[in-house]
A and B are shown apart, each in its own frame.
Chain A
Amino acid sequence: MNFNIPSLTAEFYLTTSPVLILCFGALVAMLAGVSRRLGGELVIYSVLLLSLVGALAAAVAASPGVETAYLSGSYLAGVLSRFGQVLILLVSLIVTLLFKATFLRDRFFRGEIASLFLMVITGMLITVASEDLVTLFVGLELSSIGLYALVGYLNPSRRSQEGAIKYFVLGSFAAALLLFGFALLYVSTGSLRLTEVSQAVPKLLGHNWVKLGVVFSLAGISFKLALAPFHLWAPDAYESAPTGLTALMATTVKAMVIILAARFFAGSLASVYEVWLPALMFVAAISMILGNIMALVQSSLKRMLAYSSIAHSGYMAIAICASSANSGSLPVAAVLYYLVGYTIVSLGAFSILMWLENKDNDNLLLDDISGLSKTHPWAAFGLAVCMFSFAGMPPTVGFIGKFFVFNSALINHLTGLVLIGVIGSSISLFYYLRVIVRMYMADPIQLPTQLAPKPSLLVAVVIGATVIANLALGTVLPEAAMKWMVETSKEVAAAPGSAEDSQSVSH
């Protein structure tokens, strides 16, 4: 009989060091928070920064080369895992820095909250690197449960308590759907590893339990991705959460689930795409239509961006649909490109909102930013670039991203979906341009408390960096970046090698 001895080698610890560093940071933050002397803002801030920077350095330094599986295939080190981890860590580092410039700084930099925050990031890192349904589920829930708690606890008002409860109930419901799908896949295929599931599923297509398993997993993932008609939690959660957390939900959570969906559908279940393709096409189409139409009637900016994020999930789902039909790695590369662009733009938009907000006005309305170009010209300029990019206007990254996604769908004959996508984008122009018109062509209105009275160097740097990255990816970099994305997404389809094969011991 063969037993695989878990390879707890130095190489394993090096590869998983981002996760380990964050876990350690979370524990330190929790312990420091208990002590009255050590629990100050400065200590917690440095713990947060040190662990995030350390994890980021470790993730960048990990040299993946060949995709390798550790711990009997639960933890996957490879180019795609590293891509996801670096993206998530970078965004969370920027969000942490930005919290320092907001009115929530004395609440955010406390032991228990910092610890929850680091745990959420840990869960995301585990999820993007998991190849096993157990690790995947644990990572996903670690990040979700932490976020439910943070949304309700960071700034407890009636609104955020209500949003947290809705987020919690629908999120747990989604987790149960996803698990039921996994359970049926396990019963039919006899394995919890994605590679083994993908080998076994094509032979079992006659069985209805397998199909049901695939459909339930799709529903669960659509819930987590906020695809309509499973989107109901997203607007409430986005609006009620403190804006820093909304930024985290719109960027890192989305990145995590998109990478997961790419692995799951474009990788493992690509051979049985006829089961999930119609369902995914349906949710993608509904999300693009409903997300864009509902965004038209919103007065709160965060709620508008929530509906717009539903529509953007729909665009990304198009490319995942396209990756079904033996299409190579181009569609997955298009998703990753779109994801990077969307992350940069969302981060820019939410960081501007974060900076403008204050204690009396933590949910900006469209009216509140009237004439912003006269009071805060640079913030207005940054927000305008973000809006152009969301709408997909050249020369921004939004345009190139949409181009790659629609192109990969057209190559694979998904003309109907592309048509709906184009109609959706033209509807979206209306509400994105309305923000710009309100900022540049309306007169400033008198607010009870002034928005962002003092300038902040950090916010200026973040806004400048997102604008530059946005325009660079939209003009000079696309070709080089896309080549890199194709390299990154190659391993989605390929089965990973195992670090333990050489070490299995016979008894």
Chain B
Amino acid sequence: MVSIDHYLVLATFMFLCGTLGVLFRRNLLMVLMSIELMLNAVNLVFVSGSRLLGNLDGQVMVFFIITVAACEAGVGLAMVIALFRRYGTVDTNFLRVLRG
């Protein structure tokens, strides 16, 4: 029998994978994808919760999260492209003018 805990553990695992990706990946595109992975872990929690509780609030929230994630990806990719066209790199090690 699959209980809610199984879903939550899976989602937490996905979320941690995303977190590690954001923290340790050196490629900005990979960082963006890791953030998407984190948001999808959140979506999984909302959908399974919605199914468990039998109310639709979670499903509605997922639609909002998907939309906002799309906007975020749009702005993020625009920034990465601007960086790449100007400096020819998407490596996070390049971002070190600001420090201290």
Contacts and interface: CB of A to CB of B under 8 A. Distances in A.
B99 to A, nearest CB: 8
A165 B35 contact: no
A152 interface: yes
B97 to A, nearest CB: 5
Contact of B79 (A148, A180, A186): A148
Contacts of A349: none
A190 B61 CA distance: 13
Pick from A164, A172, A180 the residue with the most CB of B within 10 Å.
A172
B45 A162 contact: no
Chain B interface, DSSP helix/strand/loop, else mixed:
helix
B2 interface: no
B61 A133 contact: yes
Contact of A186 (B57, B68, B97): B57
A138 interface: yes
A489 interface: no
Contact of A239 (B41, B49, B98): B98
Nearest to A173: B22
Contact of A168 (B15, B49, B52, B76): B76
Contacts of A184: 8, 45
A183 B49 contact: yes
Interface stretch (A153-161, A251-259, A423-431, A490-498): A153-161
B1 interface: no
B57 A191 contact: yes
Chain B interface size range: 35 or more
Nearest to A158: B97
A91 interface: no
B17 interface: no
A306 to B, nearest CB: 11
A240 B45 contact: no
Interface string B4-26: 10001001000100110010000
B57 A192 contact: yes
Given A141-B71, A164-B79, A176 B18 contact: yes
Contact of A303 (B57, B76, B87, B100): B100
Given A141-B68, A166-B95, A173 B38 contact: yes
Contact of A138 (B38, B68, B87, B97): B68
Nearest to B74: A145
Interface string B57-100: 11011001100100110011011101100110000000111101
Contact of A180 (B28, B41, B49, B64): B41
Contacts of B97: 158-159, 162
A186 B75 contact: no
Given A161-B83, A190-B55, A180 B72 contact: no
A168 B100 CA distance: 19
Nearest to A307: B100
Given A156-B82, A165-B28, A176-B18, A183 B45 contact: yes
Contacts of A168: 75-76, 79
B52 to A, nearest CB: 7
Nearest to B45: A183
A271 interface: no
Q: Which 10 A-B pairs have the closest CB atoms?
A: A187-B49, A183-B45, A176-B38, A236-B98, A179-B42, A190-B53, A162-B95, A141-B68, A192-B57, A172-B35
Given A161-B82, A187-B58, 18 more contacts: A134-B61, A141-B71, A145-B75, A162-B96, A165-B79, A166-B95, A166-B98, A168-B75, A179-B39, A183-B45, A183-B58, A187-B4, A187-B8, A187-B46, A187-B48, A187-B52, A190-B55, A239-B98
